[in-house]
Amino acid sequence: MSSLPLAGRLTALRHALSEFGVDGFFLPRSDEHLGEYVPACAERLAWLTGFTGSAGLALVLPEAAAVFSDGRYQIQMRQQVEQSVWSIEHMYETVPPLWAAEHATGKAIGYDPRIVSVQDIEAFRKAGCQMVALNRNPIDGIWTDRPAPPSSPVLVQPLELTGRENHAKIRDIADILRQNGQDAVLLPDPTSIAWLLNIRGRDLPFLPVALCFAVLHVDETVDLFIDPSRIDGSVSTHLGDAVRVRKSAEMAQVLQTLHGKTIRLDPARCPVWFTVTLKSANATLAHGTDPCLMPRASKTPAELDGMRRAHLLDGIALCRFLSWLDVHGVGKTEIAISDHLLALRREAESCIGPSFHTIAGTGPNAAIMHYAPTQEHCDTVQADTFLLIDSGGQYTDATTDVTRTVWMGTGTPPEAWKTHYTCVLKGLIALHSAVFPAGTHGYRLDPLARLALWQEGLDFDHGAGHGVGSCLSVHEWPLGFTRRPVLDPICEHMVLTNEPGFYAPGSHGIRLESQMETCLAHRTETGDMLCFRTLTLAPIDQRGIVPSRLTDVERSWLNDYHAEVLAQIGPHLATEDYAWLERACRKL
């Protein structure tokens, strides 16, 4: 990544900070859009620390430095980060602002206001930290071979896939602004802009968006900030007269014209630079959730049809893959297995590519929740161990995400491992089988995925599921099943994953994940009741199951699911793969 060795980068950064007049630096794993996926030119956290996870941050002080991430990445951080110079912290157990307050008393901590959210800076300041906005990012001055920013052409997402015209979506969001007495909303998130304007791009490896910013005004016009050369005549016609395409360099100038207006921004998703610029224009800032999030989460009938089409194609590829894996998997490398699955997915004309870096972990690697094999660092699949494959595809009409854990070899898993596997399966079935009032918060359903594990004294350190986009982000926040009290309601027509797991570091890991559509179960006098319908079509390996631990209801659920998989996928398979699928879907 650079001519400067990894071991010397922290020292180089500390030296650079003295030129900025600050003692320390706060570096989140984000770019100017604060999204989960960032272009190579914004992988500053990975460049500095070696940690390549999708969530995290670093705090650098004169005598201390720490890397923080969540439970998914604790093992990975310890493998990638040099612990002689960095401490490894769990961001929910050691809260970064409190760590900084303890270690940086009387010291000034610099940050890049273009890549740090308003919410994050407020948290540091409330903890008593002295935070100083810098006029440029000090990493960029020492990262001498930093890649160039992406610049893919903007693409139109057609009406038959979105189900709603862009001008109708603009009107809906403008109505929200009117109802709240607001003049405009700032949209730094390219996924919100992609949904709003029915556009896509190829700027990021796994997320089909064009990196851009937008301001939507109450008069139902939009300022879109992106290089105009990326928009051809057909896209310009699609956007219409209501969308003004402007160069990114014009953004500060346009924000200055909002003098005296009330501008909505989401403090969790808006960089500090925008608030400083708007305040200098004497605009009134109104903190509020990105108004595109909930409409985006409720899929249109066209989007749900696209989900079903994509999951059929995805299921065909997965079943062909699992059939191949049973015969050829042992002795293959994790990256070879990952590549083979992607090649099968790509046979579908509508497949754009993967929706995230495939997790294919054998043995102890399966216990690393977001393990990602590479050509340089991967293991060979061994017999008599679990192989965890978490993968997904980006299709023109949907996004998929599925995990299956497969027992490799002719033997049977140890009884304790089978107990772990069965508890995870029971959690998957319990969450899928939930019937609940419309508007229930996801964290209230999260325990259903854990109860069987809890009864054995076990748990897992990640949420039980997340929202999924429509040819957008595989992790569509804020929806999900989380342990933290995130107050976002689950409503009809949303698409979420269901993914309980169990991880024994140094030994094995298990996760089962399917996507679900939220459907109406009952309409009652006291309100609507919702349920889930599974979209994913791939068999669940029965070799890890302890049948006596399943209730009759759970056994029926599994048998019914497998009958559906066989009926939907079977007709599309060659004879040999069909025979395998029949065996995999046999009644338990």
CB 551 within 8 A of CB 452: no
Q: At what angle do helices 301-328 and 334-346 cross, to 10 degrees?
A: 140
Whole-number Å distance between alpha carbons of 205 and 456 = 40
Boundary of a domain, candidates 279, 296, 313: 296
Whole-number Å distance between alpha carbons of 60 and 27 = 8
Q: Do 115 and 162 have their domain in common?
A: no
Whole-number Å distance between alpha carbons of 488 and 466 = 12
Whole-number Å distance between alpha carbons of 425 and 581 = 19
Residue 148 in any domain: the answer is: no
CATH number at residue 100: 3.40.350.10
Q: Which domain holds residue 117?
A: 6-142
Q: Do 418 and 459 have their domain in common?
A: yes
Give the CA distances from residue 393 to residues 91, 106, 310, 348, 470, in Å, rounded to whole numbers and listed in that order: 29, 49, 9, 10, 11
Read off the pLDDT of each residue in 116-124 and give the average, rounded to a whole number. Answer: 96
CATH number at residue 524: 3.90.230.10
Q: What is the mean pLDDT of the chain?
A: 96
Strands 87-90 and 108-111: unpaired
Q: In which region does residue 506 sit, left (phi positive, over 0), alpha (psi from -120 to 50) or beta (all else)?
A: left
- Give the pair of three-digit tokens for residue 46: 């990975």
- Percentage, residues of the chain above pLDDT 70: 99
Encode 387-426 in three state secondary structure. Answer: EEEEECEEECCEECCEEEEEEECCCCCCHHHHHHHHHHHH
Q: Do 336 and 465 have their domain in common?
A: yes
Please tell me the predicted confidence (pLDDT) of residue 484.
Answer: 84
Whole-number Å distance between alpha carbons of 377 and 384 = 22
Residue 17 in any domain: the answer is: yes
Q: Do 270 and 286 have their domain in common?
A: yes
The CA R_g of the chain, rounded to the nearest whole Å, is: 24
23 pLDDT exceeds 80?
A: yes
User: What residues are paired with 360 via a beta bridge?
Assistant: 389
Structural domains in the chain (count): 3
- Give the pair of three-digit tokens for residue 516: 């679900």
Q: Report residue 1's pLDDT band, with 50, 70 and 90 as the boundaries.
A: very low
116 pLDDT exceeds 80?
A: yes
CB 488 within 8 A of CB 476: no
445 pLDDT exceeds 50?
A: yes
Kindly tell me the burial class for residue 526, based on how many C-beta atoms sit within 10 Å of its own C-beta (0-12, 13-18, 19 or more). Answer: exposed
Q: Do 455 and 518 have their domain in common?
A: yes
Q: Do 481 and 509 have their domain in common?
A: yes
Residue 401 in any domain: the answer is: yes
Helix (H) or strand (E) run with residue 442 in it: helix 442-445
Nearest to 436 by CA among 448, 445, 447, 424: 445
Boundary of a domain, candidates 264, 296, 328: 296
Q: Do 193 and 113 have their domain in common?
A: no
260 pLDDT exceeds 50?
A: yes
CB 362 within 8 A of CB 382: yes
Nearest to 194 by CA among 171, 217, 224: 224
Do you know the residue count of the chain? 588
Q: Do 307 and 285 have their domain in common?
A: no
Helix (H) or strand (E) run with residue 49 in it: helix 44-49
Whole-number Å distance between alpha carbons of 501 and 49 = 28
Nearest to 74 by CA among 61, 86, 89, 84: 89
Q: Do 407 and 325 have their domain in common?
A: yes
Residue 588 in any domain: the answer is: no
DSSP 271: B
pLDDT in tens, 32-65: 999 999 999 999 999 999 999 989 999 999 999 9
Residue 342 in any domain: the answer is: yes
CA angle in degrees (0–180, nearest 5) for 113-118-123: 110
DSSP 331: T
pLDDT in tens, 485-494: 887 899 999 9
Q: Do 567 and 434 have their domain in common?
A: yes
231 pLDDT exceeds 80?
A: yes
Q: Which residues of 171-185 are buried (b: 16+ CB within 10 A; e: fewer)?
A: eebbebbeeeebbbb
- Give the pair of three-digit tokens for residue 236: 């310009």
Residue 147 in any domain: the answer is: no
Q: Do 357 and 430 have their domain in common?
A: yes
Read off the pLDDT of each residue in 510-535 and give the average, rounded to a whole number. Answer: 96
Whole-number Å distance between alpha carbons of 462 and 440 = 20
Q: Do 130 and 35 have their domain in common?
A: yes
Please tell me the predicted confidence (pLDDT) of residue 377.
Answer: 84
Boundary of a domain, candidates 267, 296, 325: 296
Whole-number Å distance between alpha carbons of 480 and 475 = 9
Please tell me the predicted confidence (pLDDT) of residue 7.
Answer: 81
CB 441 within 8 A of CB 489: yes
Whole-number Å distance between alpha carbons of 208 and 395 = 10
Whole-number Å distance between alpha carbons of 483 and 466 = 12
- Expressed in angstroms, the distance from the first to the final Cα of the chain is 51
Helix (H) or strand (E) run with residue 65 in it: strand 65-69
Q: Report residue 2's pLDDT band, with 50, 70 and 90 as the boundaries.
A: low
Read off the pLDDT of each residue in 131-136 and give the average, rounded to a whole number. Answer: 96
CB 73 within 8 A of CB 51: yes
